[in-house]
């Protein structure tokens, strides 16, 4: 599943390609995604000009005139592809997929522009599209996802309030989108490594120093991943065809039984399952 850095890269790719472009036609080939695509979808978007593309948490937002919006969530296997009208056999994968080939049976939505098309492909159909007709409705939709991991609201005071007397472990807190949105499994393990925190440590046992580190290194890891173009686990590529490189800098993720990379640490990276999610940590320096 794409996490916040990968969705940010997809958003930036879309910004460069479709901002100020007019949607000439929309085709829906399968309405049965995570939530059914509503019947008015095609008419709502036809002839709309995309004024801006933004991201909130793991959602991409297309902005139109008169406070109209379309929210896109990629789910686990959703991908966006740009198809050149002059060369339809060539495609650019803006997202995650195990192959460069675009299997047409999983093409569910297509946005047509004057010179190219944007295709949404999703084998498992866990992604979705949602139409929004006002700024109030947009703000209401995202209210449960505040704060995002990169928001100023994700700070020491917030953590002190939310973690007080809580028995849930810190790894599960970081993955809880109602606690902080945008952090997925890969980056949770990396963040906790930099924080020198055991993923099983309970919220109520975290001190002020621990919490400051969580805020600091959440920002550090996610921003660094964005700068590196995301993590290429399944051939992630942006609009320029460039792959993400952050996976080359993983400190713990997928490094089971390897030596810890921290200077002067003799620990070994261990793998455990927390709520059926693979979790990696150093058995020596993460306390």
Q: For position 70, what pLDDT does the model report? A: 98
**Tokens 């790894």 identify what position?**
171
User: For residue 237, what is the DSSP state?
Assistant: B
What does the block give as tokens for 120?
Answer: 């949404």
Q: For position 96, what pLDDT does the model report? A: 47
Closest CA to 279 of 173, 207, 208, 181: 173
Asked about 58 being catalytic, the answer comes back as yes
Residues contacting residue 279 through CB under 8 Å, at least 6 positions apart: 171, 185, 188, 189, 199, 271, 272, 273
Q: Return d(Cα 82, Cα 188) in angstroms, integer.
A: 31
Q: Return d(Cα 169, Cα 26) in angstroms, integer.
A: 45
pLDDT in tens, the chain (287 residues): 678 988 998 899 899 999 999 999 999 999 999 999 999 999 999 999 999 999 999 999 999 999 999 999 999 888 888 888 877 666 666 654 445 556 678 999 999 999 999 999 999 999 999 999 999 999 999 999 999 999 999 999 999 999 999 999 999 999 999 999 999 999 999 999 999 999 999 999 999 999 999 999 999 999 998 888 655 444 444 444 444 455 668 999 999 999 999 999 999 999 999 999 999 999 999 99
Q: For position 97, what pLDDT does the model report? A: 45
**Tokens 């209210």 identify what position?**
143
Show the domains of the chain with their CATH numbers: 4-145 (3.20.190.10), 156-282 (1.10.8.50)
Asked about 88 being catalytic, the answer comes back as no
Closest CA to 173 of 203, 204, 218: 203
Q: For position 87, what pLDDT does the model report? A: 75
Asked about 8 being catalytic, the answer comes back as no
Of 56, 58, 130, 255, the catalytic one is 58
Whether the CB-CB separation of 182 and 56 falls below 8 Å is answered with no
The helix-helix angle for 156-163 and 208-227 (nearest 10°) equals: 120
Q: For position 244, what pLDDT does the model report? A: 45
Strands in 79-84's sheet, in edge-to-edge order, are 25-28, 107-112, 116-121, 79-84, 87-93
Q: Return d(Cα 155, Cα 216) in angstroms, integer.
A: 9
Whether the CB-CB separation of 42 and 23 falls below 8 Å is answered with no
Q: For position 90, what pLDDT does the model report? A: 66
Q: For position 232, what pLDDT does the model report? A: 44
């Amino acid at each position: 599943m794409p996490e916040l850095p990968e969705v940010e890269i997809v958003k930036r790719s879309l910004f460069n390609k479709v901002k100020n472009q007019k949607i000439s036609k929309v085709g829906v080939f399968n309405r049965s995604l995570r939530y059914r695509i509503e019947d008015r979808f095609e008419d709502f978007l036809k002839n709309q000009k995309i004024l801006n593309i933004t991201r909130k948490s793991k959602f991409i937002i297309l902005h139109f005139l008169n406070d109209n919006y379309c929210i896109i969530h990629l789910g686990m296997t959703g991908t966006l592809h740009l198809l050149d009208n002059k060369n339809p056999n060539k495609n650019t994968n803006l997202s995650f997929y195990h192959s460069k080939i675009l299997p047409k049976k999983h093409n569910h939505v297509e946005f047509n522009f004057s010179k190219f098309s944007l295709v949404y492909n999703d084998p498992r159909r866990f992604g979705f599209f949602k139409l929004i007709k006002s700024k109030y409705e947009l703000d209401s939709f995202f209210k449960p996802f505040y704060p995002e991991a990169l928001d100023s609201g994700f700070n020491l005071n917030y953590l002190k309030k939310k973690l007080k007397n809580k028995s849930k472990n810190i790894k599960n807190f970081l993955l809880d989108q109602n606690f902080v949105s945008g952090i997925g499994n890969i980056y949770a393990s990396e963040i906790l490594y930099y924080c020198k925190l055991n993923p099983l440590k309970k919220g109520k046992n975290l001190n002020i120093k621990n919490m400051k580190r969580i805020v600091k290194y959440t920002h550090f890891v996610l921003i660094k991943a964005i700068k590196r173009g995301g993590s290429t686990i399944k051939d992630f590529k942006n609009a320029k065809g460039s792959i993400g490189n952050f996976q080359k800098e993983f400190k713990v993720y997928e490094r089971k039984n390897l030596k810890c990379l921290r200077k002067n640490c003799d620990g070994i990276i261990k793998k455990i399952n927390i709520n059926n999610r693979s979790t990696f940590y150093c058995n020596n320096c993460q306390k």
